[in-house]
Structure 1
């Protein structure tokens, strides 16, 4: 038969959507947990943010410049296409060196830290009302000193934290020495000490090297780009002006250190020239004395003029020899200077040697010596960079010596040639008196020494000028500036993390609880395991109110109707046998049996309920003043003289009566008793006398009594209890049905809390069409029930 499909309502809902809704509703049922954890997380975060130190980042930018000495005009076009020759890694290492950090610590007295003791926590401050100083040399301090200083109306109370000794100072006069302590105290510049009375402070004096090491590690120095000469120097701290002062002072210390290195080269040149002056003065005095004595002894007052052309030629040859001998003398002086060094020391730069290679090697050697002296103060002898510098210095020193030797050999060869030419020119002076020739030789030596003296004097003046006008190879682009946004704590991010954790934590706990929970709570849990066995009804949790009782009655009427659908139809007029069982005790099978009998009696059926649970009878609890030892089915099966009709009891004088046959006295062997042939006869007799025969049977998992008599059942109602029955028991009952040990089986899900199990405030009437709202449970009641 064709039926029209309602295009506006599709009763089949997507299974995944239903499961998702069920899962969400399952978690949303515990919304107070989420709310509480979120409130706790936010409270913890706001407490943390209230007392956490706010850290800001201060940053400065510096451009590194090449040496002014290398900025001379050159026609070497290859330099136009080369990137900067500055080694940024070396400069970064120098900025982060402990040597410079120590100077910054000394300049700003960073080794003395002040903490204000508030009611909650101690917080570091940078503008204390007093200043504490170490009386001895701060470099001699090996271990940290800690003092607690309280400002009193009359002075200071001081506690030595390490020794526990207390001291008291009267007055606030400047720079008061504290007896038996290596410190002094004085009011800070511009501070009103009386405004800080009764306030307590902690003062920590740290060793200089330890503070410098911490500061060195705190600096972040990075290049702005791959080929950039600009360095970014940053420092994080809780006080922006303090961090800015530290960075700016580091830059000034770096500049001063570079200037000192350059001035050291100039000083070395001046000292070298001064040493040569002493020698040259003695030589000039000796030559002048020799000339005076020679002229006196030989009666020479004036030198006669010679032939013009011969003299000019001879003079040119003599000048060439003079220049060569000057270069030989300078080369010899440089060689003696470098060979006399016991350690790596600076060499005099640009002393007049006319050899670019030697001058460049000397400049490279001085640069390497400066790098070696800096690195030696902060690195060990096994440091790879230091060893590399030593190797470079040895190589440069050897190259200078070899170059000087080669230059001298070249000069000597040239000198031999010049002297040969000079001898040829001297042939034209055969007529010149021997005395005049000797005098000219003396004058030539005199001129040589005077020229060398003047040259060195010029170089000394140049070195003095360089010493006076030396500038740093840095250009400050930006002095330290503190960002207005803190680096930490990042409030928005921390609040979001707290919200996230406040939601994830209860979700995780609930997820674990749900995963470890092996109980069933709704029909969906049963259908996921045994989809081919119908769930006939979901019975709501029974409450004391009237609406709950009405819903309970309607639910059992629905169970009665649904049971009819799974009970096979027969032509005979005999009654139908219904077994009510469960896996374990406590699932409510007796409750279901009794109320199902009530529902059938309301449908004008003649009903009897029979207790077969001989081991743990519970049916008698539904009758007043009846004990479990009252006679019943066990007595009938044991004693052939007893008739079962004589043992019947009624549920009362109500509008819908039905009969009850209790289990009877507990027998020693219930299984043997149920195998009595009289039981089969009993089944036929009650089927003939009643429309509905309901057996309250024992649990199937605990004993085999129910399975032994299950062949007499036309329908079996397997009772499950929400929050009690484990999922493994569903598999067990499914196997009984699959093995046909139980036939025509349907599940009865008992004690359902619809608002907890389904989560969308179902009332029972919605499920069965009665339209009444159930009482809503509090979240604590739901949690307690699920537990």
Structure 2
């Protein structure tokens, strides 16, 4: 039965995998219960969790282009002041708090209605049995209300009952009348066909809070890179509400963009009308002067005396006309710029041919629009407003200076053309002065007419832009839903519960095994050392009445001790001397590991083989064996015999109540010097006397790690049984008996693993250890032929 260090070799990784699995498989019922409980929890979770649905819509963000249409006249860009050059800007507006705030107010999403359920409340969206209208809010609630909850019911007597769920105050009123709910006055009117309803909960939330909730849940997905097709996705427990929010969000986005366009177009229309009035007066004055000139000079048909000079002069006149038009536009813009306020928009692309000025005007208008948008929810003291105002003033000054420089440059060009015209004029001195004056009047008339017609055309285009305004977001697909539940997903939840139900017991077992420093089974002991053989495993006894085995006992404990003494017979054959009696010492590392329990049952088992057995209580410091003796003899024993020369050894030995062949020598009185007593030569003589009368002497010793008593007695023992208690003995303590064997202080040492759970028992449990085991048996050891042969050899 002895095993050496090299006697055991693992049989490959397959063995180790199986060994690890066995740590968990023995607790299979934990996994079954864990998975079952987790699945039940998952089913309840799916049953009572509010399902979440998804709604989506697709839109195209229009990229606007110039509406010049190939006209030779410069484009004022009335309807294109907000060209979409950056898709991110439009997406930022689409997900802005302001737009979502308008959506919440338009759909009254801050008012939610629920009907009481057994586990969870169900929201009513379009199925509310009544309509509620807020007539007037109190002054302190003008900016909004929130945090109020009411329970509303209508009985068959057409009487409303409204309960404030905070104060539990109840109000009774008739439908259609004004009701004061604290935050304001409302009117509740049942819908047609509704006679009564009960337990309808109305919750009033803050608009900003609801808007923030939907902003957080809104997803804007660009279908592909550099594409202006955007998909809007929103999840909500009420699918109809999610669709309405998306549709209303698109509507509010388009409305906001149209308002911005109309704002620019309106300012441009005012500018054009003002200029038309001025130019109309100037044109009437020029035409009146032309008429008076002809009447005073009696002219009906003016002949050109020199067509060549006239043609040349005509070319210069054309240049002068264009320059004059530019000067007029620049001067008009300077006048408008001087009179405009900070928040007013400037006409964009008025026809000034200087590209840098047009770019600065567009930048100025963008800043003005941004400032006006911020001012809707802020004040002049906002740092962002101050910064934008500074930028507006700076750009405005730059535009003013650029226009002044352009005006000077145009004036220089006009002077140059005039000089050229004077050069030509010197060549046509023969032409009457009336001709020259008349052509000057015509030049003024043509400039005014061209400018007047141009502004009339732009006014019509601007009016058309106001009348026909295309939405910024073109709807590809209105909000729709597949109707499938997005969350919770039943397959994922059930799979997750199975994994969780498996993982929790697995983690508990793993952590317990990881933190466990106790010897639990045979394998734990063999992993630490194989220098000391394991001669027996004793099962855990749950019932205290079964701690001591009896004659003809067929319990698992009795079979374990029979298996133990069978192993001991072979060990004693090798270790025993020529003496008749076999002395077996039972010890352990610390107290509480079952020395007395093992020694007593081992002695009973040996007595059942019709051998004379003596059980010696050698634990002089903390004796336990005396509790199994009668009151008359339990106070005198081994310590008294060693300390008193007058005591007779036979008088101290008492018969056991457990078996007729078992005698017990108790430990006796607790001495002050146990070690000195055990060192006396009298102890050696005592064992020699006992060997003459008994076949087996079982010695119940003290813990070897705590005192030296065991080492003093060990030299008399033929075999030492070292008790290791499963679930009690630390793994670190195994080093102590190993070192004792290596050092020679306990050379004939063998392990007995005590208190082993049935699932952790060794080979016998796995391969039928309990075969034929009952609580009692009529089996007689005297009739066991194999055992009789062994006993005959030993004797």
TM-score by structure 1 length? 0.83
1:726-775 Cα distance to aligned partner (Å, 9 max, x none): 43443333333333222201122234332x32499x549845xx833578
Inter-partner Cα distance in structure 1 for 2:458 and 2:292 = 33
Instruction: Sort the Cα spacing of 1:405 and 1:690 in 2 relative to 1 into closer, same or farther, 3 A.
Output: same
Residue equivalent to 1:469 = 468
Distance 1:451 1:14 in 2: 106
- Is the CA contact (8 Å cut-off) linking 1:670 and 1:705 kept in structure 2? yes
What RMSD, in angstroms, separates the aligned Cα atoms of the two structures? Answer: 3.8
Alignment of 1:449-460 (within 5 A): 449-460=448-459
Matching of residues 487-526 of structure 1 within 5 Å: 487-526=486-525
State the shift of 1:551 in Å: 5.0
2:160 corresponds to: 156
- Residue-by-residue CA offset, 1:208-264 (whole Å, 9 max, x unaligned): 444444433432223223322222222121111221121112112222222332233
In the TM superposition, what is the alpha-carbon distance from 1:333 to its structure 2 partner?
0.9
Q: Give, in whole Å, the separation in 2 of the partners of 1:552 and 1:119.
A: 56
Flag the 1:622–1:411 CA change in 2: closer, same or farther, 3 A.
closer
Question: Is residue 2:672 matched to residue 1:673?
Answer: no
Of stretches 62-71 and 131-140 in structure 1, the one that deviates more from structure 2 is: 131-140
Give the number of aligned pairs.
744
Question: Contact between 2:604 and 2:658, CA under 8 Å: does it hold in 1?
Answer: no
Q: Please say if 1:629 is aligned against 2:634.
A: yes
Structure 1 position 55 matched with structure 2 position 61: no
For 1:481 and 1:651, the matched residues in 2 are separated by 91
Deviation for aligned residue 1:556? 3.3
Q: Whole-Å Cα distance in 1 between the matches of residues 385 and 631 of structure 2?
A: 104
SS in 2 for 1:61: strand
Residue 92 (structure 1) shift: 0.8
| Pair 1:572-2:578 in alignment | yes
Stretch deviating more after TM superposition (743-752 or 684-693):
684-693
Contact 2:163 2:169 in 1 (8 A): yes
Instruction: Note the alpha carbon deviations across 1:567-599, whole angstroms, 9 max, x for none.
Output: 455663443332222334444333433443444
Tell me how far 1:469 sits from its aligned partner. Answer: 2.3
Residue in 2 that maps onto 1:307: 305
Q: Which residue of 2 aligns with 1:534?
A: 533
Bigger shift: 145-154 or 22-31? 22-31
Structure 1: how far apart are the matches of 2:365 and 2:10?
88
**What per-residue deviation string (whole Å, max 9, x for no partner) do you get for residues 396-454 of structure 1?**
64564455344434432332232223223333543454455445434443443333222
SS in 2 for 1:193: coil
With over 3 angstroms needed to count, the CA separation of the structure-2 counterparts of 1:324 and 1:700, relative to structure 1, is closer
Picking from 710, 714, 730, the partner of 1:706 is: 710
The 8 Å contact of residues 533 and 751 in structure 2, kept in 1 or not, is answered as yes
CA contact 1:351–1:459 (8 Å) conserved in 2:
no
CA shift in 2, pair 1:640/1:403, >3 Å: closer
- Residues 211-290 of structure 1 aligned to structure 2 (within 5 Å): 211-290=210-289
* CA distance 1:506–1:647, change in 2 (3 Å): same
Residues 1:66 and 2:63 aligned together? yes
3-state DSSP class of the match of 2:486?
A: coil
Equivalent residue of 1:533, what SS?
coil
1:561 shift after superposition: 3.7
User: Cα gap change, 1:548/1:136 in structure 2, threshold over 3 Å: closer, same or farther?
Assistant: farther
Q: What is the Cα deviation at residue 91 of structure 1? A: 0.8
* Structure 1 residues 284-299: aligned runs within 5 Å: 284-291=283-290, 298=296
- CA positional deviation for 1:712: 1.8
1:581 equivalent to 2:587? Answer yes
Distance in 2 (CA, whole Å) between partners of 1:341 and 1:579 is: 115
The CA deviation string for residues 4-31 of structure 1, in whole angstroms up to 9 with x for no partner, is xxxxxx9976386556545544444444
Which stretch has the larger CA shift, 115-124 or 229-238? 115-124
Native 8 Å contact 1:26 1:757 kept in 2: no
- Which SS does the other structure have where 1:268 is aligned? helix
CA distance in 2, matches of 1:31, 1:170: 65
The verdict on how the C-alpha distance between 1:225 and 1:648 changes in structure 2, with shifts beyond 3 A counting, is same
SS at match of 1:531: coil
Structure 2 partner of 1:780: none
- The correspondence of residues 315-334 of structure 1 with structure 2, limited to 5 A, is 315-334=314-333
CA shift digits 1:86-120 (9 cap, x unpaired): 31210111101223223322332223222223343
Q: Check conservation: 1:519, 1:722, Cα contact below 8 A.
A: yes
1:131 — aligned with what? 131
For 2:413 and 2:286, the matched residues in 1 are separated by 26
| Structure-2 change in CA distance of 1:518 and 1:275 (3 Å) | same
- SS state at 1:307 partner: coil
Instruction: Quote the residue 2:735 is aligned against.
Output: 731
Residue 771 of structure 2 corresponds to which residue in structure 1? 771
Query: Is the Cα–Cα contact under 8 Å of residues 60 and 230 in structure 2 kept in the other structure?
Result: yes
Contact 1:547-1:772 at 8 Å conserved across structures: no
Which residue pairs with 1:720 in the alignment?
A: 724
Q: Distance in 1 between matches of 2:645 and 2:268?
A: 137
Matched, 1:748 2:752: yes
Provide the rounded CA distance (Å) in 2 between the counterparts of 1:71 and 1:555.
Answer: 106
SS in 2 for 1:343: coil
Deviations 1:528-572 (A, max 9, x none): 334211111113346589996365455434433423444455663
Structure 1 unaligned segments of length 5 or more: list them: 1-9, 75-83, 776-787
* 2:11 corresponds to: 14
Separation in 1, partners of 2:603, 2:270:
124
Change (3 A) 1:472 1:566: same
CA positional deviation for 1:183: 3.3
8 Å CA contact 2:134, 2:187 repeated in 1: no
Q: Is the 8 A contact 2:633 2:652 kept in 1?
A: no
The match for 1:340 is 339
TM-score by structure 2 length? Answer: 0.82
Alpha-carbon distance in structure 1 between the residues aligned to 2:439 and 2:68: 44
CA contact (8 A) 2:714 2:746 kept: yes
